[in-house]
Chain A
């Protein structure tokens, strides 16, 4: 500033001199006119030069201000928003750290359980902080533990290289690419618990996967090699040297128009398994209320009498999602074939499950594979209340008849489960969802006197995700 003031002062003096000079010169001899013109010209030049200097200084200040404004845009940022949660970002955008998470608090009520065999409960189903980072242009990682159900477990911990949309590499612990509803986030599923087919696929496995999207996401693929986790398992290690291969393709043929929400896929896995008496590599299967209705035989006294996985396990799952405006349907079928051994008796058991699950938004939101942002989020002042979604589903899980009686006890393990679910979901905004679900499950077998008692299960959930 002082520099500018000096120039302005200088210019003022110079201009003052120009104004004063004619009066002074008028008092001198007329013969001096040539000299006066010369001096005037010189002064004008000096004024012009000073004027230029001032303009240059002003322009430099403008440019400095522009640079400062541009630099401010590029500065590291700390943000909080609905999409990314809380995040830190480097100036060049290549390093980011996102802190996200979600929690689900349930009320679980067994309304037809007259004998109170299962206690009604308030229950913290999931409490999962999520840490996601990008490190440089291509690389990143994600860590997600779970503190729900009074336990601590690591669910996601993987490194990822995103080289092009068509090719990325993921290594660590994550969802293997099989089981369509399993691949849907726990915050996006229409009911408090996933359907019966999810019993036949693993939850998390450790391995290496390549994947990507081709033709503007018209084709999505994953191909990976994994330890080979048991059905429903959140596994951290393998029991043998053999590894499982898993793959999936999803075609979304319509990028525009009414059918743009249609996706059709096929996934599968195969691998050799070897369980033992203490880690059988076999799972029990659960109803929607998370009650186990089927389990293989085990004998704590005679190890050889326990059923173990021994041989090939293969899974195949066609699946689809159809989003037609406010109406969406998820359909999947899972075929699970497992070689088992009990005291030298071997068999190949094939279990099957399927479900069709639909939902409809009364408030007009688009029913996609992921939860929508309500058109009118909950706001008391504005008189808006969010989005209301109605949901219904039906599914079955059918245990191979050859499992009975050698590998499973027909008086305690059901051979079939049929589940009907109805639900209402209230999405107050992108972060808060309230769920009320009713699940009616019937069984074939599984009791000494015939069929296991049917379940009527009501669950309420408060979900907060950010």
Chain B
């Protein structure tokens, strides 16, 4: 074969090949992130997003718009699995992100090792929020099953907070004299007989209790209870710290496939890493989440009462086992709570 290149052909090749190098690029293109989160984190991330946007603009020159989506943690996870294009998820329980990794394969199974503290930048716990002067004299978990006490908690099938509530109550029952799985089941069954309304998420339950005036006690995230008192005044509600509660570790993760496809991975990773920084931890503490960073935790020590905190790993063998035993379809919660009965 003879190889011939005509002059016009060479020009076409030059057009094809010679257009790339040495041309300066303009300012970074603005980018948008979607943070799919659970119910009570609205205020936290509204403040955090403003701070991060300023930080990121100053560091890289890139403008970032952050959209938020909130709902029951389980429900939010389902939406991401079904295709909601979240760049990051900040959910209530690790199991929900595991489901996104396992069923949707939107991120890798080892996602929890990507960031410190099992990818949980802040913690919280479960407390009891009662009305002024605590008219039903509720002091601990055992008081929730008394006749005439109306308890407000969301649905564990859709809400991460509700699963923490349920497990904390179960753990308390196990600790009672003669406590075992059977007595714990009986206790939690009685507790749910006193629940008149099951909201889909924690914020919905707060609305039910605080704004609609339903119930005697709200099983609430500590941050949600403190926020309610801050916004509505200490004269209307009181926090009762139970004898034991549960260490809630809400996790965060970059949704690799979405962020990779949208080209947002660097900013998404920086967004979550910034939660661990001192400014990020300060914002978490100001919004009543227990910070991980020692210096910030010491500063806000008085805000968080001391309470013995059990862990899901220690009492329930981890989230996967806890889910299968208690919250999977047909598991204990479905046996305990049957609407209409």
Interface of A toward B, CB cutoff 8 Å? 52, 55-56, 58-60, 63, 66, 92-94, 164-165, 216, 253-259, 262, 264, 318-320, 322, 329, 331-333, 337, 348, 350, 352, 354-356, 394, 396, 398
- Mostly helix, strand, loop or mixed at chain B's interface? loop
Q: How far is the CA of A264 from the CA of B12 in the complex (A)?
A: 12
- Cβ contact within 8 Å between B29 and A55: no
Roughly how many angstroms separate A348 CA and B2 CA in the complex, as a whole number?
10
CB–CB A258/B25 < 8 A? yes
Question: In the docked arrangement, what's the CA distance between A399 and B263, Å?
Answer: 45
List chain B residues, Cβ under 8 A from A255: 29, 263
Q: How far is the CB of A30 from chain B (nearest CB, A)?
A: 30
Contact A262–B257 (Cβ < 8 Å):
no
Task: Select which of B1, B24, B262 is within 8 A of A216 by beta carbon.
Answer: B262
Q: Across the interface, do A59 and B25 meet the contact criterion of CB distance under 8 Å?
A: no
Are A352 and B6 in contact, with the CB atoms below 8 A? yes
Most buried by B among A66, A92, A320: A320
B150: interface (CB < 8 Å): yes
Q: Is the CB of A52 within 8 A of B214?
A: yes
Which residues of the other chain, A, contact B196 by a CB distance below 8 angstroms?
52, 56
Inter-chain CA distance A59–B208, complex, in Å, is 7
Please give, as numbers and ranges, the residues of chain B lying within 8 Å of A60 by CB-CB distance.
197
A60-B197, A92-B82, A256-B29 known; A350-B2 Cβ under 8 A: yes
Give the residue name and chain of the A residue nearest to B30 (CB).
A256
Flag whether B60 is at the interface (Cβ < 8 A): no
Chain B residues within an 8 Å CB radius of A58: 212
Residue in contact with A256 in the complex, picked from B8, B19, B28, B212, CB distance below 8 Å: B28
Query: A52-B214, A332-B12 known; A253 and B6 CB under 8 Å?
Result: no
Which 5 residue pairs spanning A and B have beta carbons closest together? A320-B16, A257-B25, A216-B263, A256-B29, A331-B15
How far apart are the CA atoms of A333 and B16 in the complex, in Å?
9
Chain A residues near B24 (CB, 8 Å)? 257
The answer to whether B182 has its CB under 8 Å from any CB of chain A is: no
A-B contact pairs, 12 of them (CB 8 A): A59-B214, A93-B83, A256-B28, A262-B20, A332-B16, A333-B9, A333-B13, A350-B2, A354-B12, A356-B12, A394-B8, A398-B6
Return A334 CB to nearest CB of chain B, in Å: 10
Scan B257-278; emit 1 where CB is below 8 A from any A CB, else 0: 1001111000000000000000
Contact at B8–A63, with CB atoms within 8 Å?
no
Provide the bound-state CA to CA distance between A256 and B82, in Å.
Answer: 30
CB-CB under 8 A from B212, the residues of chain A are: 55, 58-59
List CB contacts (< 8 Å) of B1-38 with chain A.
Answer: 1-4, 6, 8-9, 11-13, 15-17, 19-20, 23-26, 28-29
Closest CB in chain B relative to A168 CB, distance in Å: 13
CB-CB nearest in chain A for B213:
A55
Q: State the CA gap A464–B20 with chains docked (Å).
A: 36
Whether A254 touches B25, Cβ cut-off 8 Å, given contacts A164-B257, A262-B20, A318-B17, is: yes
B25 near A352 with CB under 8 A, answer no
Known: A52-B214, A350-B1. A318 touches B13 (CB 8 A): yes
A320 to B213, Cβ gap below 8 A? no
A396 CB → nearest B CB, Å: 6
| Alpha-carbon separation in the docked complex, A165 to B9 (Å) | 34
- A216/B12 in contact, CB under 8 A: no
Residue contact B6 to A396, C-beta cutoff 8 Å: yes
Contact of A63 among B4, B28, B197 (CB under 8 A): B197
